[in-house]
Amino acid sequence: MRQEWECPDPVVRQQLVEEYHGGCQICQEGFQKRSGEPFFISKYLVSRTKARTIDRLGNVLCLCANCSAKFQHGAVEMKDPDQQILALRTIAEGGTGEPAIAFRLCGEDQLIVFSERHLIDLQELLKELTPQHPADAEA
């Protein structure tokens, strides 16, 4: 049986264009379609089969076709991605200005680079999705 999903939210797609101009967050490569629009693939972090309603900037990566295929079908090794993301800081928080998380993609060391706007929304999303520990709720 084939499943069809609605197209990614055009508002989120436009936000990715504004943040990355169609450049891949992993390899920074990209190209313009015949129409002049940047070509990229929006890759959801939290699967739409688990959380279909999370159409927001923080839940989507801007990837070129090659990195998207590797990310979807190849070996991805990432140590504590949520902790890496939550540890990143914006410039206002003392960060370096190029927040990124390290991982291995198809056996090669890589970085996923985030704009500050994207990082902030991703961190908020992770905080919303992370169940609170009873001790945290009492504090």
Averaged pLDDT of the chain: 86
Global pTM value: 0.84
Q: pLDDT tier at 74 (50, 70, 90 boundaries)? A: very high
Q: State yes or no: pLDDT of 18 exceeds 60.
A: yes
Angle at CA of residue 26, ends 92 and 105, nearest 5°: 125
The mean pLDDT of 92-121, rounded to a whole number, is 94
